[in-house]
Every structure is written in C-alpha cells, then in structure tokens.
Amino acid sequence: MTFTLKVWRQHSADEPGRFVSYQVKNVTPDMSFLEMLDALNEDLISRQEPPVAFEHDCREGICGSCGFLINGVAHGGQRGTTVCQLAMRFFKNGDALTLEPWRARAFPVIRDLIVNRSAFDRIIQAGGFISAPTGTAPAANAILVPKEDADTAFDAAACIGCGACVAACPNASAMLFTSAKITHLNSLPQGQPQRDQRTLSMVAEMRNELFGSCTNHGECEAVCPKRIPLEFIGKMNRDLMRAAWHWHREPLVIPSLVQLPSAEDSHEQFHEEVRIHEEDQAHVEAESPEPAATRR
Amino acid sequence: MASNTNSISVHSTANVARQRVAVSHGALAFWHTMIGKKVIMAVTGVVLVGFVVAHMLGNLKIFSGPDEINAYSRFLREVGSPELAYGQLLWIVRTVLLICVALHITAAVQLSRMSWAARPVKYDVKRNVETTFAARMMRWGGVLVVAFIIFHLLHLTLGAIGFRPGQFTHLAVYLNVTAAFKVWPVALFYIVAMGALCLHLDHGIWSMLQTLGWNTARNEKQLKIASRAIAVVVFLGFSSVPVSVWAGWLH
Ligand code: HEM
Ligand code: SF4
Ligand code: FES
C-alpha cells in the first residue's frame, strides 16, 4: 500500500510549525500505524532529514503514550483503539492522511506530534490518590467491595491518560479524563474518607490548567480508546454537588485560584508570561545554589 | 534533547500565577468551578423549560376563542387572591425567571470564554464524529433566543413595537395577537425564533439530564428521544398560533 502523509512538523515549542508532505511506499496492511511511521522515519534518516517525532511506549494500547489526529479524528477513528493498535488495513490504498498533534492550550506541542500532557499529572496530583498506611499488607477481604462498585471502579481505571478526549473536544475540556480518575477512587470504600476534598481539588485543578468547559457534545466518548462513558462525567458532577452540600467541619480548600482566562489574553499574554517567567527563572538560578525548579 | 525538555516545562507551567485560597463558603467554591456553573445552567434550565412548556400550553387557549384566552390572561393576575394582591404572583414568577435567565446567561458567557481560550491554535483538519447540529448551535441559538425574548416583551407584553398607535390594548389578548401576526415578517420571526428554541431544547434538555447525572450508558437513547420530543412539541405548539393567524384560521 502507498500513502501520502501530510505531517505537522514543529521543531520545538517556541518555533512555528507547518505541514510537510511525504510519500510512504511498501506499507503492508498488517503494519500498525506507528510501524508505518517507523518506515517513514528510516527513510528520512537515510536521507539525513530529521525523523517525525511521535510518542510511544507499549505499542499494545495500554500505556497511553501514543496519539495524534489522523484526518481530524483522534487515534484515527476505529472505536476503542489507540493509534499504536490501529492497523493500516483500516485505510484504503492511496489515501491522503493528515497527521496533527493534540491541540489545546493546556497541551503545548513539544515537537512534531508530541505534546506535553503534564497538565494531566497535575490533575492527578491534586487528589487522584488515597492516603493510606503502607505497612504490612492488609488481610484479603478486610474491606469488602460490592461487586457493582468494583466493576465501576475497574471501568473507570481503564483510562490510560492519552489525552484524546481533550483533543477531540470542541471545547478542549478534560472532563472525561478527570471523571474517570475521580470515579475510579470515589466508587471504592478506600476512597471515601477523602472523597469530597478529592472531587473539589481535581475539578478546580482542571480549570487552573486552562482546559475548556464541557457542553456534552460526546466527542470524547467517541474517540476514547478505553471507551470511558459520558456517564462518569455525570457521576463526577454529582460528586461535586455532594462536596458542596455536605457539612464539613472545616471549609474545603481549593488548591488554587486564577482569574478567568479569556480568548483575547490567550496568546500574546501567554508568551509575555513565558518571557517574564524565564526572566524570573534566570534570577532564581543566579541567586540560589540549587537548580531552580522548572515546575511552578 | 535535555535542554529541549527544560524549555518545554517552562512553557506549560508559566502561564498562571497561583495562590492558595480557601473559599469559606461552599456555594462560592461551587460557583467557582466550571462544573458548578454548568450545574447552575442545568438547574436554571429546568425552571426555564418548565416555564416554556407552561407558556406554550397557555397559548393554546387561543383556539378556544377570545373569551377563554382573555379570561386566562386575567386569571394569571388574579390567581391567589385574596391572599395575594392583583398581579403579585405574576411578579414573583417574573422575578424568579429573570434571576434564572441572568444566571444561565452569565454562566454560559463565562464558560464559553474559557472554552474559546482553551484552544488558541485551531486544527487544520477536524472531523466531528458524534456531536449534533443542535449541540453546536447552543451558543448562537441562545443569543437568538434572548434577542427574541426582548423583542417579544416589547411586542406582546408592552405593545411598544409592532403596533400602530392605539392598536394594542392591555389584556385584550385575542385582538392583540391576531393583529400582531397579520404582519407577516413578525409571524416569520416568531417561527424562526421558535426553531432556534427547538434546537436549544433538543440538546439542552438531554444535556441537563447528563449534567445532573441522570444519563447512563443504558438510558441515553431514550433520554435523547424524550428531549427531542419535548423540543418538537414546544415548537409546534408555539408556531401554531402565528401560522393560524397568518393562514386566516384565527381572526
Ligand atoms: C442568551 C440566552 C441563552 C444562551 C446564550 C444560552 C446558552 C446555553 C449554553 C451555551 C448551554 C450549554 C450547552 C450545553 O451544555 O450543551 C445552554 C444550556 C441550556 N439552555 Fe440555554 N441559553 C440561553 C437561553 C436559554 C433559554 C431561554 C432556555 C429555556 C427555554 C434555555 C434552556 C437551556 C437548557 C435546559 C440547557 C441545558 C443545561 C445543561 O447543559 O445542563 N437556555 N444554554
Ligand atoms: S478518558 Fe479515554 S480518551 Fe481521555 S485520557 Fe482517558 S483513555 Fe484517553
Ligand atoms: S504506545 Fe502505549 S498505548 Fe499506544
């Protein structure tokens, strides 16, 4: 099979990107999409051109590293499938395919098809954990988990954090990812003690990372390689209402507040802030003996 | 590559200054989150849908003749007497509706701005696989609905526009309505606006059920059908009046 690829090439976060077209020949139908890109890259390397950067690890659909848009659909369009698991027989010989990285303010492009998804890590850090003593292992069945709850938690835990939901969402919203992470822990008995604080913290963090707001289009569910259902978003909303209505001995803490972002300030101000931050960094580095932390 | 990674983390994290804040009131914290605003939109949406359906049913009384509809107009003002003064309940309802509309629009505008800011670089090629026309029309359809509400209040509530001087009589509903819709551009505007409302409700009613957590993988289809059915009934019910006047069935 032969394909014409139009690939987004961007050398680094600060440089502008553009589309470049390539021909890939001798593709077999049982190659995965990433194997096809490997073939392209070998060809590029042999011609002394920089290979197309894309992220991958397991290549078996479980790590959540891979992902980009193929002809405008995240992960290519085969339901419940990551691009690493997508076989080239899904396309027709001679197809023209446009490859584009996830686009969201919260996911800046690192290079070519790779974006920085650490915003997801920070949502998890805000409350996606259980504080528990980690001494000896507890006796099996010391905590009984109802079957239904275990199944729900398991379905939610299937999320691999690939970011396709954000990429496909017309609002660049991270509701499906966050709802999967919240539902996973909030369904289990072990998750109950920190339930309200967890929900509020993770939901607030989603906004602090400048993701957009859900309007129930359902695009996320349609491209999710793990078929996380919209139903979990409803569960998360219920849990947030619960957190707000419940009486708490002390007020719940919102991790941080930022002013409302708006369409106008999104671009110029972003770069302005980066510049200021870089100056600050230089300052800190000059003053302190330790290397300055790159995270806020 | 190492130096590359460095500059990247600066990029992704430098965009906001952070501060630790404890919001002492639950309700404020709730409104501060995007989901809280959305839940407010859903709850105010329920009130507005309830009003819309009741209003549509009330309008149908016009087909029972002038006496019925005019009596209904008086009833809306006299209901609750003697405990409530003339028009008091009507003003209570109007106040509640105004608060709901204000909250609904404030949340819609704030959330829309956040969403627009969330994708500064657009896709070159983007294909939607699931969303509907109605869902994509929510924002601009909503604006059209508000424009309509303002026109409608100035028109059939106050009689300030769309009538010749002296033509509009307070509480003479039948005469006002039949005179109003003989002007065909007005009748057409009402029908177009009801089309926009129908689209808004088609997605909105289901969306509200999803937002409030009633939608499940198993009942999604039924809820979407029910939402569309209500939207279509509202459209047909409201549009039947201008169409009937225009066609000469009511005169
Ligand atoms: C300027 C006026 C309006 C604007 C800009 C507006 C905008 C919106 C937007 C952006 C949504 C969210 C869409 C979504 O989540 O899918 C929405 C939802 C909704 N709207 Fe409106 N709207 C307006 C007026 C109205 C009116 C007059 C009604 C009632 C007849 C109404 C009923 C609803 C309902 C029931 C929802 C669903 C709430 C939810 O998503 O949970 N809206 N509206
Ligand atoms: S919810 Fe689905 S699409 Fe979103 S990050 Fe998790 S696995 Fe990927
Ligand atoms: S490479 Fe691990 S999910 Fe695709």
Domain extents in chain B: 16-121+133-247
The whole-number average pLDDT for the span A34-61 is 97
Q: How far is the CA of A221 from the centre of ligand 2 (A)?
A: 8
Question: Which residue, judged by its Cα, is nearest atom 14 of ligand 1?
Answer: A215
Within the 199-238 window of chain B, which residues sit less than 8 Å (CB to CB) from chain A?
A: 203, 206-207, 210-217, 220
Q: What's the fold here for domain B16-121+133-247?
A: 3 helical TM bundles of succinate and fumarate reductases (1.20.1300)
- Residue A170: CB atoms within 10 A of its CB come to 18
B127: which chain A residues are within 8 Å (Cβ-Cβ)?
A: 71-73
Nearest chain B residue to A18 by CA: give it: B124
The torsion of the CA quartet B107, B109, B111, B116, rounded to 10 degrees, works out to 180
Q: A106: which residues sit within 8 A by CB, 6+ positions away? A: A119, A166, A172, A174, A209, A210, A211, B12, B118
User: In this model, does residue A273 exceed pLDDT 90?
Assistant: no
Token representation of residue A217: 């289009």
All residues of chain B having their beta carbon less than 8 Å from the beta carbon of residue A111 are 4
Residue A197 touches chain B, beta carbons under 8 Å: no
Please list every residue in chain A whose beta carbon sits closer than 8 Å to the beta carbon of residue B18. 208, 256, 258, 296
Query: CATH number for the A3-111 domain, one of 3.40.50.1820, 3.20.20.70, 1.20.210.10, 3.10.20.30?
Result: 3.10.20.30
Query: Chain B within 8 Å of A215 (Cβ-Cβ)?
Result: yes
Q: Which residues of A touch B128 (CB under 8 A)?
A: 170, 217, 219
In terms of Cα–Cα distance, which of A257, A224, A171 is closest to A61? Answer: A224
pLDDT at residue A98, as a whole number = 98
- Contact of A87 with chain B, judged by CB distance below 8 Å, is answered with no
- Hey, is B167 helix, strand or coil? coil
Are the C-beta atoms of residues A39 and A26 closer than 8 Å to each other?
Answer: yes
Q: B25: burial class by Cβ within 10 Å (0-12, 13-18, 19+)?
A: exposed
SS3 per-residue string spanning B22-53: CCCCHHHHHHHCHHHHHHHHHHHHHHHHHHHH
Contact criterion met (CB below 8 Å) for A35 and A84: no
Identify the weakest region by mean pLDDT among A225-234, B24-33, B63-72. B24-33
Q: Which of A61-70, A226-235, B26-35 has the lowest mean pLDDT?
A: B26-35
Which pLDDT value is given to residue B23?
53
Q: Is B59 in contact with B238 (CB distance < 8 Å)?
A: yes
Please list every residue in chain B whose beta carbon sits closer than 8 Å to the beta carbon of residue A236: 35
Look at A81-95, A197-211, B46-60 and tell me which has the smallest mean pLDDT.
Answer: A197-211
A97-111, A137-151, A185-199, B41-55 — which is least confidently predicted? A137-151
Cβ of B118 within 8 Å of Cβ of A172? The answer is yes
CA–centroid distance, A25 to ligand 3, in Å, is 24
A261–B113 C-beta distance less than 8 A: yes
Measured between CA atoms, the residue of chain A closest to residue B117 is A263
Whole-number pLDDT of residue A274: 47
Interface of B with A in 99-118 (CB under 8 A): 110-118
Q: What is the ipTM of this complex?
A: 0.87
Write out pLDDT tens, residues A242-265.
998 888 887 777 765 543 344 444
**Closest ligand 1 atom, CA of B108?**
10
Q: What is the rounded distance in angstroms from the CA atom of residue B110 to the CA atom of residue B123? A: 23
d(CA A30, CA B16): 46
**Checking phi first, is residue A163 left (phi over 0); if not, alpha (psi -120 to 50) or beta?**
left
List pLDDT tens digits, range A98-116: 999 999 999 999 999 999 9
Question: Does ligand 1 have an atom closer than 6 angstroms to the CB of B37?
Answer: no
CA distance A100 to chain B (A): 8
- pLDDT band at A293; cut points 50, 70, 90: very low
- What residue ranges line ligand 3, CB within 6 angstroms? A 56-59, 61-66, 82, 84
What pLDDT score was predicted for residue B101? Answer: 98
Average pLDDT value for residue range B219-245: 97
Q: What is the mean pLDDT of residues A119-124?
A: 95
Interface membership of B13 toward A (CB under 8 Å): yes
Q: What is the value of pTM for the model shown?
A: 0.84
CATH of A117-131+140-255, one of 1.10.1370.20, 3.20.20.70, 1.10.1060.10, 1.20.140.10: 1.10.1060.10
A269 lines ligand 1 (CB under 6 A): no
